[in-house]
Amino acid sequence: MAQMETISSNDKELRSAEIITKALDQIGAGDTPIATALAIIAKEGTLDTADTVQFGNTVFLANRGVGANKNKMVGRAFNVDTGKNYLNNCLEYMEYLRKKDITHYSTSFSGSEVLKLLQLMQRVFKNNTDSRIYIGQEANGNYVSYFKLGNDPIPRVS
């Protein structure tokens, strides 16, 4: 795996495609070749249910449910921003979802760095908002996080 390169969005904001490519180069795509993974992500972004948005040097790609699940989304983030910026980008994304009347968001991930980020977000939520984050670990060692978004605005950290 390549050395994790961060590019602070305070210094230079990258284009979404560049962020996704750099993030995949750094974290890999499992058994899937990077070119194939990029094609899958590009196709996913064109689905009617897809919502792709960028905050700082983090791109969020999620799919919205339909019918009874229209207020639920499942997604993932591609990040090359610094740790503190990544935290605030995620908090800003949660506020973006809350304003779009999304009540539930879930994502799967692996790695202790993302786990630490979500635990920080949990603390921010617990003390400042009626929204909550729940984190579970699967038998294979991967994690799942579930966000229950409430009515209170999502704060940022300074």
Segment 74-88, tens digit of pLDDT:
999 999 999 999 999
Segment 26-68, tens digit of pLDDT:
776 667 777 888 888 899 999 999 999 999 999 999 999 999 9
**Nearest CA to 76 among 91, 63, 86?**
63
Domain boundaries, the chain: 16-148
What's the CA gap between 57 and 112, in Å, rounded? 20
Q: Which residues pair with 20 in a beta bridge?
A: none
16-148 topology per CATH: Aminopeptidase (3.40.630)
Q: Edge-to-edge strand order for the sheet containing 50-55?
A: 50-55, 58-64, 72-79, 104-109, 143-148, 132-137
